[in-house]
Amino acid sequence: MLSMATQQNALTTIGFDADDTLWQNEQFFRMTERHFAELLSAHVEKEHLLERLLEAERRNLGAYGFGIKGFTLSMIETAIDVTGGTVPSELIGKILAAGREMLSHPIETLPHVHDTLEALAGRYRLVLITKGDLFDQERKLAQSGLGDFFHAVEIVSDKSRPTYQRIFARHGDGAEHAMMVGNSLKSDVVPAIEAGSWGVFIPHELTWVIEHVEAPTAAPRFREIGHLGELPALLSEISNSGRTS
Ligand SMILES: [Mg+2]
């Protein structure tokens, strides 16, 4: 029989990041950055251009939020800056086209994602928690074919401790009974652990520099796995250790 303490620790709800956790995303930004650098190669070195672009993106995050539309505006702003205001309108048109193309890129789910979500959907409440442009994230979820596995979808402007407390209270049994899984230590793992949840890090080879922070290796509820297919074994391990402690 389960003790009261065990029930109090039971994990009922799992939050999943979307971009570069369930499907490829960052590769489309890198591809567009390369194209952007080619468009402006007559004016500026690639490395310098991308530094300026990153500065613009950081500056604009508070106003535009995360996603492709903000990225496109930051590219235009950078093009104006590096050309001293002389960038031809034809080139601005090409930057806009590159941004629009990103909004229709095909969805490529990562290995093990479908099978793992299918296996867990009946046993846990699964919640998709993602930043980014609303229309774009809705489109990607619809095209991924993964929508039916989720009890709820939350497209948020930022991922912080209160975000996870609010979402896991609304869709689960509170943050202490929840786990967040994602490829960003800064957005998915650290604030979820601060909220009282488990934070599971699945590194992706391409992760935006703004999403990098130190791994919270000392936190008892921090775990790292190689891919999503390792999640069911981790969940068994956690529930078994809860039973014996
Ligand atoms: Mg991500």
Query: What architecture is the 4-24+107-241 domain classified under in CATH?
Result: 3-Layer(aba) Sandwich (3.40)
203 Cα: distance to centroid of ligand 1 (angstroms): 9
List Cβ neighbours of 171 (8 Å cut-off, separation of 6 or more).
13, 125, 127, 151, 152, 154
Q: Strand pairing partners for 223? A: 200
Q: Tokens in use for 145?
A: 């074919």
What are φ and ψ of residue 129, in 5° steps?
Answer: -130, 110
Residues of the chain with CATH 3.40.50.1000: 4-24+107-241
Give the model's pLDDT for residue 211.
76
Domain spanning 26-102: CATH superfamily? Putative phosphatase; domain 2 (1.10.150.240)
Residues of the chain with CATH 1.10.150.240: 26-102
140 Cα: distance to centroid of ligand 1 (angstroms): 13
Predicted structure pTM score: 0.90
Give the model's pLDDT for residue 59.
96
Q: Predicted confidence band at 7 (pLDDT cuts at 50, 70, 90)?
A: low
197 Cα: distance to centroid of ligand 1 (angstroms): 18
Residue 9 or 146, more confident = 146
Q: Strand pairing partners for 180? A: 15, 199
